[in-house]
Amino acid sequence: MEKDDKKLNVVSLVGIIVSAIIGAGIFNLPKEMASSASAGVTILSWLIAGLGMGSLAFCMQNLSNKKPDLHAGIFSFAQEGFGDFMGFNSVWGYWVSVIIGNVAFGTLMFSAIGYFFPAFGNGENILSIIGASLILWLIHYIICKGLDNATFLNNLVMVAKLIPIIIFIVCVIGGFNKGIFFHRFWSMNTDNFYLPDVVHQLKNTMLVTVWVFIGIEGAVVFSGRAKKRSDVGKATLLGFAAVTVIYMSITVFSYGIMTQAEIQSLPNPAMAYILERVIGKPGAIIVNLGVIISIFGAWIANTLLAEEVSYQAGERKLFPVIFTKENKNQVPVNALLITNIIVQILLLSFLITDEAYSLLSQLSSATILLPYTCVALYQLKLTHTEKSSDSTKNYIIGIIATVYMFWLIYASGFIYTILTILTLLPGAIMFIYVKKYYKQKVFKPYEIFIFIVIAVLFVYGMTQLPVLMKM
């Protein structure tokens, strides 16, 4: 059992959330949004994302308060509500998502370093792989020294990375041009509001908004290591509110500095070149330094999330027992090592595509939709069975979150749905191995049906893979 001084207070929990959420994505966010939507649609997109992800945050807060015994991260809600196999698929999807996200961090970090040292190029060459590998194992070493040391460093980095973000927001507000902002407000092709086009643009922004909100569950993942259970829900809502305001400010005001066409054609990280337009060369320097600092903190936070959730899955007999080993500093060393070995292997993806960051960030968003959806559905199930005085409010929150999650699954599109499906069957094989190891019945009757569906979809996905490679 951990000593109380080793446990996390509300500041550390908020720090993990903010660092995990505000990472690589924020510094390229204007470009990612402008590639999908106009200024007007971007505003609508953030309102929808704020409502949907806000409802999910409230679900997490409510479930944390109502089920304090479920302290193994968001996948424990899926396991409690829908059985071991759905619990496993939830944690598997989450773990894969965070691992892929860490690989995406590597390419954007060295794209920023490439601004100062051109040999790194756009962050997707051999030199960048070597550099990202060194950062990966430095973070591994820091975390092995103890959770308290890692979270303390994470909090320092969180403060440091907010400085360039605040400078950016102040400068773009000061340089805001109303004429540029309202030019082609609803579309790149017309000044008029055309509903089918607006809906199409909204759909294209959905995975972008999910990607930048990944990490909202950080306090829930570490709920078992929190000093006070009540801090978990409080930290979740505080972290969500802070980053939503920051995201909206950065993306919306950027449209008052450059047109949508200009923003979407910028190199990575786009914020550097937008700020350069306002205050000159120092703007690009400030943002690129911010990217490097920010990604380092996000990489620490996300690695903490990945090792903790896989460790907790091992504790709940969903992952192999090897994941449960801790060192003298109470760090799950095997979970950490396995996670980072996979990240190391995936860093080679830098050599496969010129758009590694966009591909990885959207795939990370797609694979996390299953665990998020299970949280929303469990909120509805618990509310239905509990019948408490706040049932009406909890029903509304659960319905909004569930509808939003299904909308995201639809909006993620064919490619990312298929790629997500392709990750599930390898996980199911590991689930079968773990059940056999513990001499437990592998599947309940309804879980056999789920497994068959996954297997059929996997075969279908494999037949579609050649098509996907050409898209």
Residue 219 has pLDDT above 70, yes or no: no
Predicted confidence band at 2 (pLDDT cuts at 50, 70, 90)? very low
Distance of alpha carbon 271 from the chain centroid: 20
| Long-range pairs for 257-260: beta carbons < 8 A, 24 or more residues apart | 257/172, 257/175, 257/176, 257/177, 257/180, 258/180, 259/180, 259/183, 259/184, 260/34, 260/38, 260/39, 260/184, 260/188
CATH number, domain at 305? 1.20.1740.10
- Provide the number of structural domains found in the chain: 1
What pLDDT sits at residue 1? Answer: 40
What pLDDT sits at residue 435? Answer: 93
Instruction: List alpha helices for 145-183, DSSP H.
Output: 147-174, 178-182
pTM listed for this prediction:
0.77
Contact call for residues 295 and 23 (beta carbons, < 8 A): yes
Predicted confidence band at 338 (pLDDT cuts at 50, 70, 90)? very high
As a whole number of angstroms, the distance between CA 8 and CA 305 comes to 14
What pLDDT sits at residue 205? Answer: 83
**Picking from 23-37, 170-184, 311-325, which range would have the lowest pLDDT averaged per residue?**
23-37
What pLDDT sits at residue 362? Answer: 65
Residue listed under structure tokens 């497994």: 451
Contact call for residues 171 and 275 (beta carbons, < 8 A): yes
Spatial neighbors of 30 by CB under 8 A, at least 6 apart, are 250, 251, 254, 263, 266, 270, 271, 274
- What's the Cα-to-Cα distance from 286 to each of 275, 402, 447, rounded to whole Å? 9, 40, 52
**Picking from 49-53, 327-331, 386-390, which range would have the lowest pLDDT averaged per residue?**
386-390
With 0-12 / 13-18 / 19 or more C-beta atoms within 10 angstroms meaning exposed / middle / buried, residue 445 is: exposed
Residue 433 has pLDDT above 70, yes or no: yes
Task: Using a pLDDT cut of 70, give the percent of the chain over it.
Answer: 87
Q: Which residues pair with 226 in a beta bridge?
A: 8
Task: Using a pLDDT cut of 90, give the percent of the chain over it.
Answer: 18
Residue listed under structure tokens 């308290």: 148
Tens digit of pLDDT for each residue in 149-203? 777 776 777 777 788 888 899 999 999 999 899 888 888 777 778 888 888 888 8
As a whole number of angstroms, the distance between CA 310 and CA 232 comes to 19
Residue 324 has pLDDT above 80, yes or no: yes
Tens digit of pLDDT for each residue in 275-315? 989 998 888 888 778 878 878 887 888 888 888 889 989 98
Distance of alpha carbon 121 from the chain centroid: 25
Q: Got the DSSP string for 201-259?
A: HHHHHHHHHHHHHTTTTHHHHTGGGBS-THHHHHHHHHHHHHHHHHHHHHHHHHTTTS-
As a whole number of angstroms, the distance between CA 409 and CA 413 comes to 7
Range of the domain at 116: 4-470
Spatial neighbors of 91 by CB under 8 A, at least 6 apart, are 73, 75, 78, 309, 310, 312, 313, 318, 319, 371
As a whole number of angstroms, the distance between CA 252 and CA 40 comes to 9
What pLDDT sits at residue 402? Answer: 94
